């Protein structure tokens, strides 16, 4: 490959190799690369994730490239700040805040700089690696982008005095590739792939591979390879998956939310950029409730915006959490002057973006407290409650905390009630049929006909049992046994039950399942304080359900019985809310 000549000043000293043009070209090339690699990255991600990694990064780097072009930043630090903001805004999920953190460190190191020395580049990568590790909590050997990032940073540090910066970059690229390749033999520790356990080995980590493309792009830019600007063409415009009444899948979440607001205009209002808020805000001086999450689980949180429930909701693209920037805006929209509770379903992307949102909201002067909600007994024992994945049981904390907020209870009391509720909640899910991803048209996971899986996550994460399909009563008995064992001594007098359909399970099936839940609990002397049977948290057309129990005491039961009204939830169900 032809390399750009190194420039020298009048004394013969070598000038910095990397200038503003190099970094501008870098993002031109990244937009082009991730567009061309989109399908391959989607396929790589489909094996151990959602199958949309390529689409996410193609969208995000196209946005970063556009933002840089529009902003025309005067120095490298400003350029990297623009890129970091665009990635945080447009990528979402777990990868968005991680890459934003990496590039933001470059913005600090290269602030007001029009050139970049090898020393500064090494510092950028070294600090970026530390920021990514700190934000995501990942260490080498855990099948993440860190496994490619750290080797690249290490090689740049070791070669910071190199007489040939392009050669040093090539060595860093080879180290990143070697690190990414090593992830094939690693079981995943983070994200949805972690729930596959040993089944995640044998596959390249999409994040690690993507980082090799990022390093490769800088190497190309430094070598003088010219990039051509290419407009982002979402893969969904090329086809529409059969059997889905949609226009363009890339607009699916937006149009879903708009339709919801149009149908229930007296309850929920749609704002530009995808926010859903109460049509009639609660009184000033009361605590607000906000949440950010991924799209594609309709009605999900949008259907729970209303009196006694959420004040503001924002969803990201399909199965990708909204960015921390947007979640911070949702917090702002929910603020009525008494502070805001940010509900966080315990998934890696949700947690990472929530952290970013909390920092931004605090800088806005908003008193905000997060409540991390995890209820899936298949993912961690009760002794490690903070590691449990969030599932349908978060309805209990939302309903009880929302009632307290509507009543005018202070922020600390709303938080206390929600955390107490989460502690007393247990959920287990069952899948019998895989959904298809609306962007790729491919199944999110493989489940042979006639088999079922117990402990499945909302995106098809692996469960605790896979075997032959069983009759409804036997399935319920297996699930109930696990839930009751988990709740143990917390079962004092009664439970609230939530039977949630996964999207492709008929009302007939749900009623048959609930019938067994009712009688099985009755046989064990457990009183049902309240029951909800609905499909509130879905995954497209996935066949299955989740069963959630909340072991309520007098305090929690009292708050549960308070009235609530949203587009897809009302309480009490047997009379008109007053």
Q: Is 129 helix (H, G, I), strand (E, B) or coil?
A: helix
CA distance 422 to 548: 11
The C-alpha atoms of residue 337 and residue 311 are separated, in whole angstroms, by 13
Q: Is 248 a catalytic residue?
A: no
b/e code 313-323 from CB counts within 10 Å (16+ = b): bbbbbbbbbbb
Q: At what angle do helices 411-423 and 394-407 cross, to 10 degrees?
A: 160
For residues 456 and 432, give the distance between their C-alpha atoms in angstroms, rounded to a whole number. 10
Helices vs strands, H then E, count in the chain: 17, 17
Cα–Cα distance measured from residue 426 to residue 414, given in angstroms and rounded to the nearest whole number:
20
Name every residue whose Cβ is closer than 8 Å to that of residue 273 and which is 6 or more positions away in sequence: 314, 326, 329
Hey, is 278 helix, strand or coil?
Answer: strand
The separation between CA 142 and the C-alpha centre of its own chain, rounded to angstroms, equals: 19
CA distance linking residue 284 with residue 221, whole number of Å = 53
Going from the C-alpha of 43 to that of each of 52, 62, 437, the distances in angstroms are 8, 20, 12
Active-site entry in 347, 437, 459, 568: 459
Q: From CA 405, how far away is CA 398, in angstroms rounded?
A: 10
- Residues annotated as catalytic are 459
């Amino acid at each position: 490959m032809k390399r750009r000549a190194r420039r020298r000043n009048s004394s013969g000293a070598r000038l910095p190799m990397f200038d503003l043009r190099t970094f501008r070209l870098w993002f031109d090339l990244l937009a082009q690369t991730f567009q061309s690699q989109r399908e391959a990255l989607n396929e790589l991600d489909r094996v151990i994730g959602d199958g949309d990694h390529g689409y996410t990064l193609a969208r995000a780097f196209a946005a970063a490239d556009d933002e840089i072009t529009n902003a025309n930043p005067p120095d490298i630090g400003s350029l990297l700040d623009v890129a970091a903001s665009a990635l945080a805004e447009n990528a979402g999920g777990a990868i968005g805040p991680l890459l934003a953190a990496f590039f933001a460190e470059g913005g600090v190191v290269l602030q007001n700089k029009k050139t970049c020395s090898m020393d500064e580049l090494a510092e950028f990568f070294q600090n970026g690696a530390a920021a990514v590790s700190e934000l995501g909590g990942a260490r080498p050997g855990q099948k993440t982008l860190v496994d490619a990032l750290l080797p690249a940073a290490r090689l740049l540090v070791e070669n910071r005095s190199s007489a040939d910066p392009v050669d040093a970059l090539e060595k860093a690229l080879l180290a990143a590739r070697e690190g990414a390749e090593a992830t094939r033999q690693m079981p995943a520790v983070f994200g949805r792939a972690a729930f596959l356990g040993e089944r995640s080995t044998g596959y390249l980590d999409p994040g690690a591979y993507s980082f090799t493309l990022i390093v490769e792009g800088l190497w190309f830019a430094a070598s003088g390879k010219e990039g051509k600007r290419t407009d982002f063409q979402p893969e969904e415009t090329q086809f529409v998956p059969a059997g889905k009444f949609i226009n363009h899948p890339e607009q699916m979440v937006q149009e879903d939310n708009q339709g919801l607001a149009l149908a229930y205009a007296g309850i929920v209002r749609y704002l530009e950029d995808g926010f859903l808020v109460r049509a009639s805000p609660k009184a000033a001086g009361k605590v607000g409730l906000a949440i950010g999450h991924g799209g594609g689980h309709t009605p999900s949180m949008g259907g729970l915006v209303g009196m006694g429930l959420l004040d503001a909701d924002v969803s990201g693209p399909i199965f990708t959490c909204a960015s921390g920037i947007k979640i911070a805006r949702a917090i702002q929209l929910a603020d009525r002057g008494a502070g805001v509770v940010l509900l966080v379903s315990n998934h890696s992307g949700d947690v990472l973006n929530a952290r970013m949102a909390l920092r931004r909201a605090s800088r806005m002067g908003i008193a905000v407290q997060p409540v991390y909600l995890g209820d899936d007994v298949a993912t961690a024992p009760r002794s490690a409650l903070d590691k449990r994945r969030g599932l349908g049981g978060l309805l209990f904390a939302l309903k009880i905390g929302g009632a307290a907020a509507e009543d005018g209870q202070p922020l600390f009391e709303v938080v206390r009630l929600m955390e107490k509720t989460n502690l007393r909640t247990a959920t287990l899910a069952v899948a019998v049929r895989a959904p298809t991803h609306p962007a790729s048209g491919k199944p999110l996971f493989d489940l042979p006909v006639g088999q079922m899986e117990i402990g499945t996550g909302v995106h098809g994460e692996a469960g605790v049992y896979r075997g032959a399909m069983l009759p409804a009563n036997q399935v319920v008995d297996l699930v109930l046994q696990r839930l009751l064992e988990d709740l143990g001594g917390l079962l004092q007098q009664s439970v609230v039950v939530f039977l949630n359909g996964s999207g492709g399970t008929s009302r007939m099936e749900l009623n048959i399942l609930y019938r067994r839940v009712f009688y099985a609990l009755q046989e064990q002397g457990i009183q049902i304080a309240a029951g909800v049977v609905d499909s509130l948290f879905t995954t497209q057309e996935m066949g299955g359900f989740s069963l959630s129990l909340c072991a309520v005491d007098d305090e929690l039961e009292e708050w549960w019985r308070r009235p609530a009204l949203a587009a897809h939830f009302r309480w009490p169900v047997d009379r008109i809310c007053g």
